[in-house]
Structure 1
């Protein structure tokens, strides 16, 4: 069974594309995102807010 839905995949894909262009900004600090992992996290976070099929965040 798939962990992530299609909408989540699209959201991450969009975030990665924006990162490569240099237009992806952090939600809080509004600074440009350079890290690949951070771009994925932002994409998944946006997908969660839209109600896509994404596993819950692990507690730190």
Structure 2
């Protein structure tokens, strides 16, 4: 795989795998609740997901956070971590302690 392609494989996976159909830029938004609502909508309406909606939505969020790694600004990482709790609330799951 050429060097340039290897840096963008996660974007390709996100767009073409049996993942969710996400709203453009969802992970760049500044509102954790809005991000969670969008992920929930995508997971609930997806015909491509293989797991339950909550698991699929949380997996996509974690995938993005992990792939962005050290390149994800601290402030945006905090927003996305808060979006995880918002997602748990929307699906009636307990909030993460810690």
> Which protein is richer in helix relative to its size?
2
Select the structure with the greater relative contact order (CA < 8 A; seq sep ≥ 6): 1
- TM score, norm. by length of structure 2: 0.30
Higher-Rg structure is: 2
- TM score, norm. by length of structure 1: 0.43
